[in-house]
Amino acid sequence: MRSSNRRPEPPKPSGPPVEVVIETIGGEGDGVAPGPIYVPFTLPGETVRATGGGERRELDAVLVASPDRVTPPCPHFGVCGGCALQHWDHRAYLDWKVDRLRKTLALQRIETELLAPFAAPPASRRRVALHARPGSRGQARLGYKGRKSWDVIDISVCPIADPKIEAALPALRRLAAPLLQHPKSAPTLHVTVTSEGLDIEITGVERKSGGGLSADARMQLGQIASEVDFARVTMDGEVQYGARQPLVRVGPAIVALPAGAFLQAVPAAEAAMAAFAVAQADGAERIADLYCGVGTFTFRLAQIAPVYAADGHAPAIRALSSAIATAPGLKGITAETRDLARRPVLAVEFKKIDTVLFDPPRAGALEQTAEIAASSVSKVIGVSCNPATFARDARVLIDAGFSLDRVLPVDQFLWSPHVELVGVFTR
């Protein structure tokens, strides 16, 4: 039985199969042939036969394979929309990501030193978002959305995920079943590995016409969570089941994780980015950590100098403030809930701060960057999950007299087209 949540897909253009030579990889991970014609699961230098019509085709056969082609490790690859590049040799794949970052910076006329990238290994993601849809006989299908589809691929394994998450897939599928009582519900289970067990935040359960879950469904949710020993289950931030407070180590501190709070997806990537940032901030006298979240960089920077930390998410700031007591020996942390897009830290407020770190969402930090540019700050460390908005913001700093000295590329989202970075600016 197909879910009523599935949206109708537009008819796909068709035409005779064509043979093309792939020249490069596009921004979504598809191979690009002259035309342009985009063909998924192809590599530079390959001759392939593609079906369909228009710019975006489907791969029918690889006629001449690249020497960089490898066997994908996941049985769901090609159907699941979670990964795009499992078929590419790791070194060539990383080189492409670094080159893509270089070209993105070049669009803003920026040249800098790109360091050797950090690469997250398989089985390292501590955070995943799993979608649930109705299956047969009252069961739930659980997994990632299909490639270019609103349907959900029911997964049995996930080679990017922490083994604790992969082992819990049957239990998570059970937990999802009571969430599907309303036909308009499209639940997503945001699963995080913590030291106290799995923490699950649920979104997408219909509330408007049905008033949310019934009392029976809530009882089932708690019973299943207890049976499989999850640490906590919340729905839109409200606790549905709580056996233990989920805790995560953030540098020298232990943080009680708020429901739905942002956390770096791979602990090793967090540690690599933080170590790089701390090394660049060495010698600072006073630091500002903007868009600080639960303190990913704050606690580590506070081992160097006093830190002013700001973020717009009040629960994250409360968690950060409470965790200060778990990390003795810090130089001092002052934390504030502040919407940095609507109320950025002004240039005059940076008067006693010599180093600023900012880690904004994908939209970047244009308003805040303008204030940093107008300040007397001597060093800026920019962390970004979106090279395009980072490059835009970097241009503002460079035009104000900063130079972008070096960038650490970070491949945190393995086998995806996404690349992250940490960049260091000095006046």
In sequence order, what are the residues at sequence separation of 6 or more whose Cβ sits closer than 8 angstroms to the Cβ of residue 191? Answer: 127, 128, 129, 130, 165, 168, 172, 198, 199, 200
- Least Cα distance to 176 among 161, 162, 188 occurs for 188
80 is known as an active-site residue: no
Is 311 annotated as a binding-site member? Answer: yes
Distances (CA, A) of 301 to 90, 179, 284, 311, 352: 32, 42, 9, 16, 16
Structure tokens at 74: 């996941």
Is 291 annotated as a binding-site member? Answer: yes
Contacts of 96-99 spanning 24+ positions with Cβ under 8 A: 96/25, 97/409, 97/411, 97/419, 98/409, 98/419
Residues in the chain: 427
Is 393 annotated as a binding-site member? Answer: no
CB–CB of 380/289 below 8 Å? no
In sequence order, what are the residues at sequence separation of 6 or more whose Cβ sits closer than 8 angstroms to the Cβ of residue 202? Answer: 179, 187, 188, 189, 190, 233, 234, 235, 236, 240
In a 10 Å sphere around its CB, with 0-12 CB exposed, 13-18 middle and 19+ buried, how is residue 92 labelled? middle
Q: How many CA atoms lie within 13 A of 226 on its CB side?
A: 8
Q: What are phi and psi of 292, to 5 degrees?
A: -80, -20
Cα separation of 205 and 212, whole Å? 7
CB atoms within 10 A of CB 195: 12
Give me the residue label for tokens 């921004």: 27
In sequence order, what are the residues at sequence separation of 6 or more whose Cβ sits closer than 8 angstroms to the Cβ of residue 285? Answer: 305, 354
Is 93 annotated as a binding-site member? Answer: no
CB–CB of 407/388 below 8 Å? no
In a 10 Å sphere around its CB, with 0-12 CB exposed, 13-18 middle and 19+ buried, how is residue 108 labelled? middle
CB–CB of 411/117 below 8 Å? yes
Q: Which of 74, 83, 292, 385 is catalytic?
A: 385
At position 84, the amino acid (one-letter code) is A
Which residues are annotated as catalytic?
385
Binding residues for S-adenosyl-L-methionine: 264, 291, 311, 359
Binding residues: 264, 291, 311, 359
